[in-house]
């Protein structure tokens, strides 16, 4: 059922009404997210296979990750998912000020997540646990070549996730500017719905990454 906000602007000419346009936009985002799931799914599956083959070494390597920082980041990202959802509801009900404030909080939380992640990478760099771009890798333990494989997966997964986070923040900033103008409430409603789906996808992917990399230490 279209909201009052979605009825304040006309649909694109290829659609019969705004409700149909919204459904098409949402379906398009789900198709895009399906391709992203294939991308992350291949990485996660590959990691699980090697994790089973080299359980002890992978668990030892995982113990060198910052569990406290990872846990804080998980709480931050899940909170940002909540504020994005609340902002979407506020947009749909025409509460412009609440929508703006909640989305701004989401952006601040997302930036905080990235800052903590970059700081965590810096710690790993100083401990020479970053086998990328020809940097020295020194693992204090047996089977350092297998541990290097773990950290290669770690940087691929967290790096790819960070890229998606940055893209998601760009999307949220565009929506924030649209809320500030509030010239086309129907368009803002669609953007908030689609942007929210993308952000929740980023949240869910991080939960899998956090579980596999940080928590499976035994």
Which pLDDT belongs to residue 79?
97
At 167-218, the pLDDT tens digits run 999 999 999 999 998 877 777 888 888 899 999 999 999 999 999 999 987 6
Whose CA is closest to 93, among 200, 181, 179?
A: 179
- Residue 137: which domain range? 18-215
- The H or E element that residue 137 is part of is none
Q: Establish if 10 belongs to a structural domain.
A: no
Q: Which CATH number characterizes residue 210's domain?
A: 1.20.120.80
Q: What is the DSSP letter of 214?
A: I
Whole-number Å distance between alpha carbons of 7 and 19: 9
What does each of the 218 residues of the chain score in pLDDT, given as a tens digit?
A: 344 444 345 555 555 555 666 677 678 788 888 999 999 999 999 999 999 999 999 999 999 999 999 999 999 999 999 999 999 999 988 889 999 999 999 999 999 999 999 999 999 999 999 998 888 888 877 788 899 999 999 999 999 999 999 999 999 999 999 999 887 777 788 888 889 999 999 999 999 999 999 998 76
Q: Establish if 3 belongs to a structural domain.
A: no
Q: Establish if 1 belongs to a structural domain.
A: no
Q: Establish if 202 belongs to a structural domain.
A: yes
Which pLDDT belongs to residue 132?
85
Which pLDDT belongs to residue 172?
95
Which pLDDT belongs to residue 1?
37
Number of domains in the chain: 1
Whole-number Å distance between alpha carbons of 133 and 118: 16
Which pLDDT belongs to residue 10?
58
Which pLDDT belongs to residue 18?
59
The set of residues, in sequence order, having a beta carbon less than 8 Å from that of 165 and lying 6+ positions away, is 110, 113, 114, 202
pTM given for the model: 0.86
Which pLDDT belongs to residue 218?
60
With beta carbons less than 8 A apart as the criterion, state whether 146 and 98 touch. Answer: no
Q: Establish if 133 belongs to a structural domain.
A: yes
């Amino acid at each position: 059922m279209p909201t009052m906000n979605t009825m304040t602007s006309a649909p694109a000419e290829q659609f019969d009404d705004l409700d149909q346009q919204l459904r098409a936009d949402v379906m398009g985002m789900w198709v895009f997210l399906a391709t992203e799931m294939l991308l992350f799914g291949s990485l996660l599956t590959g990691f699980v296979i090697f994790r089973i083959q080299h359980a002890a070494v992978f668990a030892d390597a995982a113990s060198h990750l910052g569990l406290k920082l990872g846990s804080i980041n998980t709480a931050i990202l899940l909170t940002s998912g909540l504020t994005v959802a609340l902002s979407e509801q506020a947009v749909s009900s025409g509460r412009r000020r609440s929508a703006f404030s909640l989305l701004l909080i989401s952006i601040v939380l997302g930036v905080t997540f990235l800052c903590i992640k970059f700081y965590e990478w810096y710690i790993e760099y100083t401990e020479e646990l970053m086998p990328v771009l020809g940097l020295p890798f020194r693992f204090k333990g047996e089977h350092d070549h297998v541990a290097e494989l773990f950290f290669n997966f770690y940087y691929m997964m967290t790096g790819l996730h960070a890229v998606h986070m940055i893209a998601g923040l760009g999307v949220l900033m565009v929506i924030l500017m649209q809320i500030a103008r509030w010239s086309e409430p129907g368009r803002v409603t669609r953007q908030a719905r689609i942007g929210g789906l993308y952000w929740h996808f980023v949240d869910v992917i991080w939960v899998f990454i956090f579980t596999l990399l940080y928590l499976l230490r035994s």
